[in-house]
Amino acid sequence: MFLERLPQFIGNHYLLVAAFAALVLIIVGSEIGRFTRRFKLVSPAELVRLINRENALVVDVSSAAEFDKGHIAGARHIALAQFDPENKDLVKVRELPVVVVCRSGTTAQGACARLAKAGFSKVHCLDGGLNAWLAADMPVVRKG
């Protein structure tokens, strides 16, 4: 019964069906991307654990002005324009956990992909970026 009326429903509600199909494609694409990326998203609590237990290096790829407004204690600032996985400071920690941070978490994901492609074995990205860190009431260091 349902399958007999499906073509009529699609014909009468083509915009609704198109929106549903687009939504399904977006969800499937997102899930495929999640399984194929070579870095892990971490929460603020997981980041604290990585810093305390595994001596993780935190790299902040925010702009200099955003970094000065507030950053995670001990974070190294490398502006995205100067970000190079072959940087001498980064190459030294190739086997240690490296956590990349930016304000929202989206810019950092591109830097994480570059690190993973360059052969870094333990690459992480702070999910939600510094905004998630602040929302979790975690401390930041401010300049000035």
Predicted local distance difference test score (pLDDT) of residue 144? 64
Predicted local distance difference test score (pLDDT) of residue 36? 66
CB 39 within 8 A of CB 113: yes
pLDDT reading at 5 higher than 70: yes
What is the DSSP-derived secondary structure letter of residue 105? S
Nearest CA to 66 out of 126, 139, 143 is that of 143
Contacts of 64 (CB under 8 A, 6+ apart): 77, 79
Share of the chain above pLDDT 70, in %: 97
Q: Give φ, ψ of 50 to 5 degrees.
A: -60, -40
Question: What are the pLDDT digits (tens) for 72-106?
Answer: 999 999 988 888 888 877 888 888 899 999 999 88
Q: Which residues of 51-73 are buried (b: 16+ CB within 10 A; e: fewer)?
A: beeeebbbbbbbbeebbeebbbe
